[in-house]
Amino acid sequence: MYNEVYINNKVRKEYKHLLANIGNLSPDVIKRKKSEAEDIIRNIGITFSVYSNTDMTEHLIPFDMFPRIISASEWKKIHDGVTQRALAINAFLRDIYHTGEIFRAGVVPSDLIYRNPAFDVKMIGFDVPHHVYAPIIGSDIVRTSKNDFYVLEDNCRIPSGVSYMIENREIMMRMFPDIFQQMKVESVDNYPQHLLNTLMSLKPKNCYGEPNVVLLTPGPLNSAYYEHTYLADTMGIELVQGNDLYVEDGITYMMTTVGPKKIDVIYRRIDDKFLDPLSYDNSSLIGIPGLFDSYKAQNLTIASAPGSGIADDKAIYSYMPDIIKFYLGEKPILNNIMTYSCYNTEDRKYVLDNIHKLVIKEVHGAGGYGMLIGDRASKTNIDLFKKKISKNPSGYIAQPILDLSTVPIFDNANLSERHVDFRPFCLVGSNFRKLVSGGLTRVALKEGSLIVNSSQGGGVKDTWVLADKDAK
Amino acid sequence: MLSRTAENLFWFSRYIERADATVRLLEVGYRISILPNTDQGYRNEWEAIIESIGSKEEFIRRNRAFNRKNIEYFLLFDKQNPSSVINCFSKARENIRLARTAVTLEVWNAINTSFYEFSTYTGARYTTKNLLEIIDIVKRLVNTIRGTIVNTQLLNDGFDFLTVGTYFERSDFTARLIDVKYYILLPSSDYVGSANDQFQWGMLLRSISSYRAYNWAYGTNEYSYSRIIDLLILNMDCPRSLAYSVGKISEHLKSLVNYYNQNSKAHNQAKVIFKKLKSQTPDQISNYGLHEFLESFLVQMDDLYDCLNQKYFRGI
Predicted confidence pLDDT, tens digits, chain A (472 residues): 899 999 888 999 999 999 998 888 888 998 899 888 888 887 776 666 554 444 445 677 889 999 999 999 999 999 999 999 999 999 999 999 999 999 999 999 998 899 888 899 999 999 999 999 999 999 999 999 999 999 999 999 999 999 999 999 999 998 899 999 889 999 999 999 999 999 999 999 999 999 999 999 999 888 888 899 999 999 999 999 999 999 999 999 999 999 999 999 999 999 999 999 988 888 777 889 999 999 999 999 999 999 999 998 888 898 999 999 999 999 999 999 999 988 888 999 999 999 999 999 888 766 666 788 888 889 999 999 999 999 988 888 899 998 899 999 998 778 899 999 999 999 999 999 999 999 999 999 988 888 888 777 789 999 999 998 644 4
Choose among A396, A404, A391: nearest CA to A351: A396
Reply yes or no: is the peptide bond before residue A71 cis, omega within 30 of 0: no
Choose among B3, B169, B283, B48: nearest CA to A256: B3
Domain with B137, as residue range(s), is: 3-313
Q: What's the pLDDT at B222?
A: 79
Residue pair A140/A423 in contact (Cβ under 8 Å)? The answer is yes
Looking at domain A338-401, its CATH class is: alpha beta
Q: Which chain A residues contact residue B100 at CB under 8 A? A: 229, 232-233, 239
**Rounded Cα–Cα distance for residues B227 and A294 (Å):** 63
Q: Which chain A residues contact residue B316 at CB under 8 A? A: 246, 255, 259-260
Interface contact flag, B4 A238, Cβ < 8 Å: no
Q: Minimal Cα–Cα distance from B24 to chain A, Å?
A: 27
Residues A27, A33, A38: CA angle, nearest 5 degrees? 125
A255 touches chain B (CB under 8 A): yes
Residues B261, B263, B269: CA angle, nearest 5 degrees? 140
**Rounded Cα–Cα distance for residues A205 and A264 (Å):** 10
Interface contact flag, A256 B316, Cβ < 8 Å: no
Q: Which residue of A has its CA nearest to B7?
A: A257
Q: Which residue of A has its CA nearest to B112?
A: A43
**Rounded Cα–Cα distance for residues A177 and A171 (Å):** 10
Higher pLDDT among residues B163 and B54, named by residue: B163
CB nearest to A244's CB, from B4, B94, B116: B4
A173 class by beta-carbon count within 10 Å (0-12 exposed, 13-18 middle, 19+ buried): middle
Interface contact flag, A44 B157, Cβ < 8 Å: no
Q: Which residue of A has its CA nearest to B157?
A: A257
**Rounded Cα–Cα distance for residues B168 and B242 (Å):** 10
A189 touches chain B (CB under 8 A): no
Dihedral (CA of A142, A148, A149, A151) sign: negative
A83 Cβ neighbours under 8 A, 6+ residues apart: A426, A433, A435
**Rounded Cα–Cα distance for residues A24 and A5 (Å):** 15
Q: Minimal Cα–Cα distance from A74 to chain B, Å?
A: 35
Interface contact flag, A229 B312, Cβ < 8 Å: no
**Rounded Cα–Cα distance for residues A152 and A136 (Å):** 17
Question: Could you tell me where the DSSP H helices lie in chain B?
Answer: 3-33, 45-52, 56-62, 68-76, 85-98, 105-119, 131-152, 157-179, 195-207, 211-218, 225-229, 242-260, 265-278, 282-288, 290-308
Q: Which residue of B has its CA nearest to A41?
A: B109
Q: Would you say residue B25 has pLDDT above 70? A: yes
**Interface A-B: count of C-beta contacts within 8 A:** 67
CB nearest to A258's CB, from B5, B260, B314: B260
pLDDT interval class at B126 (50, 70, 90): low
Interface contact flag, B97 A220, Cβ < 8 Å: yes
Average pLDDT along chain B: 86
CB nearest to A260's CB, from B94, B112, B316: B316
A238 Cβ neighbours under 8 A, 6+ residues apart: A214, A215, A232, A244, A254, B2, B5, B101
Q: What's the pLDDT at A452?
A: 85
DSSP per residue over A238-264, as a string? Answer: EEE-GGGEEEETTEEEEEEBTEEEE--
Distances (CA, A) of A433 to A84, A89, A118, A287, A468: 10, 13, 25, 30, 20
CB nearest to B112's CB, from A43, A225, A239: A43
**Residue among A43, A257, A261 with most chain B CBs within 10 A, to mutate:** A257
For helices B157-179 and B290-308, angle between their N-to-C axes, nearest 10 degrees: 160
Interface contact flag, B1 A256, Cβ < 8 Å: yes
Counting the structural domains of chain B, the total is: 1
Query: Three-state SS for B69?
Result: helix
- Cα dihedral A221/A223/A225/A231 (nearest 10): -170
Chain A stretch 33-72, residues whose beta carbon is closer than 8 A to a beta carbon of chain B: 42-45
Q: What's the pLDDT at A167?
A: 92
**Rounded Cα–Cα distance for residues A101 and A92 (Å):** 9
Chain length of chain B: 316
The amino acid that residue B222 corresponds to is E
Q: Which residue of B has its CA nearest to A214?
A: B2
Whole-model pTM? 0.87
Q: Which residue of A has its CA nearest to B4?
A: A244
Q: What's the pLDDT at A193?
A: 97
Dihedral (CA of A114, A118, A123, A129) sign: negative
Interface contact flag, B108 A45, Cβ < 8 Å: yes
**Rounded Cα–Cα distance for residues A278 and A272 (Å):** 12
Q: Would you say residue B306 has pLDDT above 70? A: yes
CB atoms within 10 A of CB A254: 22
Q: Minimal Cα–Cα distance from A83 to chain B, Å?
A: 31
Interface contact flag, A254 B2, Cβ < 8 Å: yes
**Element housing A86 (H / E):** helix A72-96
Residues B211, B214, B217: CA angle, nearest 5 degrees? 145
Residues of chain A with CATH 3.30.1490.270: 338-401
Interface contact flag, B3 A225, Cβ < 8 Å: no
CB nearest to B116's CB, from A42, A232, A244: A42
Q: What's the pLDDT at B113?
A: 87
Query: Three-state SS for B19?
Result: helix
Interface contact flag, A239 B100, Cβ < 8 Å: yes
Interface contact flag, A42 B315, Cβ < 8 Å: no
**Rounded Cα–Cα distance for residues A274 and A112 (Å):** 24
Q: Which residue of B has its CA nearest to A248?
A: B316
